[in-house]
Amino acid sequence: MDVLDLGTGTAGLVNVMTSDHGGLSDEQIVDLVLDKILLVSNDAPPVIKEQALLFRENIREVLYSYVEFTKKQERATITQTLAKAGHEDLANIIRRL
């Protein structure tokens, strides 16, 4: 008899993404989020599945716009922080990204 019996379980759905030469793209980030919040069953009735897929695309568009907005806001914050610290040259580089 084992002193510590952890049993077995399932991990659920796991989504792994990689990227070359930088971080994840905006589209990849949106796909990761969508996979966490909205799953459309392959077994759903056709009418419901169609509605769910349309809803998913609407959510994708909203998420994509906010991912872009968030990145711009983060760059603006970094730019201002660098400029206030006397690093205007670095701030200008970040501003042009």
pLDDT tens across 24-56, in order? Answer: 999 999 999 999 999 899 999 999 999 999 999
Q: What is the DSSP letter of 23?
A: S
Q: What percent of the chain has pLDDT over 90?
A: 72
> What is the C-alpha to C-alpha distance for residues 82 and 20, in angstroms, rounded to an integer?
28
What pTM did the predictor assign? 0.74
Domain ranges of the chain: 26-95
In the prediction, which pLDDT does 13 show?
66
